[in-house]
Amino acid sequence: MHYVNSLKRWKVKINGSSTLHGIIGNPVHHSLSPAMHNAAFVAMGKNSLYVPMQVEHVAEAIDGLAALGFVGVSVTVPHKETVMQYLDEIDPVAEKIGAVNTILFRSHPENSQRVSRGFNTDWLGSNMALAEVMKLPGGRVLVLGAGGAAKAVGFGLVEAGAEVIITNRSEERGRELAHWLGCGFCLPGDLGSITGTAIVNTTSVGMVPDISALPCDPALLRNFSVAMDIVYAPLETAFLREATSAGCTTVDGLTMLLYQGAAQWKIWTGEQPPRDVMRAALLKELQGR
C-alpha cells in the first residue's frame, strides 16, 4: 500500500505502453531512487515506471528482467560485484572498477534476444558532486574507507587528476586499495599531519541509527577546505556538522546520489535529465521519512 500511495504522489501513470525500470538489491525498502527517477519521468513526459525489487538470486533476476522487457535497472548492495558475471557486456570503466550499479537492456540487432550491459556511475556521481566546490585536477583528497564506495570515489578522483590518499581501520584492506589506485595510504593514527583540499567519508559511519558517530577525529577536518559524506540519512551527518564548524565547504550524500542517478537516466534514455526535479524529489522523500 505504501508503494501504491507513492505512485499516486509521484503522479506516475501505468498502462500497457509503460517502459519498465527499477532497482535490485537486498534490502531495497530504504532506497530513494524510485522517488528520484519517477519524478524525472513525469517531468519529462515519459511513459515510464521505476520500481524497487528485493533480489536474492541475481542470475534468475537478470534473466527475468530481460524477459519482462525492462529497459534499465540500478544495482545496489550486495549485488554490485556479483551481477557482473551474469551480464552480456560490461562497460570498460565498470570492468576496471569491478562493480556495476547500472544495467541497460536492449534488443539484439540480429535476433529477438535481449542484451544486458553493465555500467558504473558511482564514480561520476562523486566527481560531479565534488566538482561543484573544487577543482579536481591537482586537488589533494583524503578518502576515509576502503570498501566499494571508496574504490569508486578513489577511481574517479585519480581519473580526474587528483592526488588521493586512502586511510582505513584495516591496514591490509586500505593498502590493497591504495595499491590498486596507485595512490598513497596513511594509518589512522598518523592522519594529524595530513593536509589537503578535501576529505571524503565513504564509510557508513554516522548513518541512521547511529547518527552521532564520527569516522575521524573532528580536529582533522581543520586541515581541509572541503568535506563530503556519501551518507545521506541523515542529510547533515555529524561528520558534515563538525566540518562546517571547522570552516569546510560541505557536500552531502544526496548530491552524489543525485549525480550518479542522473548519469543512469542518461544511459537509459539518451537524454539529459531534469536534475532540479530529481533533487527536489529526493529531498521531499527523505523529509517524509
Could you report the per-residue pLDDT of 253-274, keeping only the tens digit for each?
A: 999 999 999 999 999 999 999 9
C-alpha separations of 164 from 60, 179, 184 in Å: 39, 11, 7
80 is catalytic: yes
Q: How many other C-beta atoms lie within 10 A of the C-beta of residue 18?
A: 14
d(CA 17, CA 10): 18
Beta bridge partners of 228: 200, 251
pLDDT band at 2 (very low <50, low <70, confident <90, very high): low
**Residue type present at position 257:** L
- Domains of the chain (ranges; CATH) run 2-120+255-287 (3.40.50.10860), 123-251 (3.40.50.720)
Q: What is the dihedral of CA 193, 194, 195, 196, to 10 degrees?
A: 170
| Cβ atoms < 10 Å from Cβ of 61 | 19
Contacts of 126 (CB under 8 A, 6+ apart): 152, 153, 156, 157, 200, 228, 230, 256, 259, 260
The string over 175-189, giving b where at least 16 C-beta atoms fall within 10 Å of a residue's C-beta and e elsewhere, is: bebbebbebebbeee
C-alpha cell belonging to residue 29: 525498502
Q: Packing angle between helix 148-159 and helix 122-131, nearest 10 degrees?
A: 60
User: What is the pLDDT at residue 111?
Assistant: 75
Look at residue 122 in the predicted model and tell me its pLDDT: 96
Residue with cell 525500470: 21
Please enumerate in sequence order all residues whose Cβ is within 8 A of that of 187, keeping only pairs 6 or more positions apart, or say none. 167, 171
Using the structure block, give the residue that is written with the C-alpha cell 545496489: 76
Q: Which one of the listed residues 46, 80, 266, 284 is annotated catalytic?
A: 80
Average pLDDT over residues 210-214: 95
CA gap 135, 197 in Å, rounded: 9
Residue partners of 22: CB distance under 8 A and separation at least 6: 34, 50, 51, 52, 53, 65, 70, 73, 74
Sequence-separated (6 or more) residues with CB below 8 Å from residue 129:
228, 251, 255, 256, 258, 259
Specify the length of the chain in residues.
Answer: 289
Q: What is the reported pTM?
A: 0.92
pLDDT band at 247 (very low <50, low <70, confident <90, very high): very high
Q: Are 90 and 117 in contact (CB under 8 A)?
A: yes
Question: Is 5 a residue whose pLDDT tops 70?
Answer: no
